[in-house]
Chain A
Amino acid sequence: AQSVTQLGSHVSVSEGALVLLRCNYSSSVPPYLFWYVQYPNQGLQLLLKYTTGATLVKGINGFEAEFKKSETSFHLTKPSAHMSDAAEYFCAVSGLRGSNYKLTFGKGTLLTVNP
């Protein structure tokens, strides 16, 4: 079974500040991990994913995440927040090895960027 915990349902940062969204997972198999973003009135969009190989994964819009097996974490970061980053972010783990579906999601973190 899999589970995902996102620490902080709401994170607020200033424009230009570091963005850090936390995600811890539990998985009975080696995990495939994902971060999705939902902008207002839009669908979920894939930001980045970890499957195998390099543990530091780079995604779109300057975001990156690092898979740390020992900490069972997959935190999302961006060095400098932009107003357009305001959205809800979801961490997810794949329920089936080698599959992109049957994702188990966290509860989401709403990111606010202040001018």
Chain B
Amino acid sequence: EAGVTQFPSHSVIEKGQTVTLRCDPISGHDNLYWYRRVMGKEIKFLLHFVKESKQDESGMPNNRFLAERTGGTYSTLKVQPAELEDSGVYFCASSQALGVNTEAFFGQGTRLTVV
């Protein structure tokens, strides 16, 4: 069974450009999460989808970030326009349910560098 897949693995863009990150969750997982780790800091929660609906987007840093999950399958996270402080590793995770007895599986992350 394929795990959580993220594309691209690395991205280097210039300040002011747009970047779109993609996450393919494990098939059948209704719950999808985005996290971000800025260098030297903690991994922080960004948002949570249940199917195609945003359940909790309290961690989104500002309106330059837009997450979508059309059809409740894969998700995209767009940063427009990118700023230097957006650099970091973006993780996606998915799970079948929300209870602590259900494991959330993480992808390997997308390393974003804004120069």
Contact = CB atoms under 8 A, between A and B. Distances in A.
Looking at B45, B59, B100, which has the most chain A CB atoms within 10 Å of its CB?
Answer: B100
B104 A100 contact: yes
Interface stretch (A13-21, A61-69, A71-79, A90-98): A90-98
Chain B's interface: helix, strand, loop or mixed, by majority? loop
B48 to A, nearest CB: 6
Interface residues of B, number: 29
Nearest to B102: A100
Contacts, number: 68
B21 interface: no
A102 B40 CA distance: 20
B87 interface: no
B95 A101 contact: yes
A94 B100 contact: yes
Interface of B: 3-4, 31, 33, 35, 40-45, 48, 56, 59, 91, 93, 95, 98-109
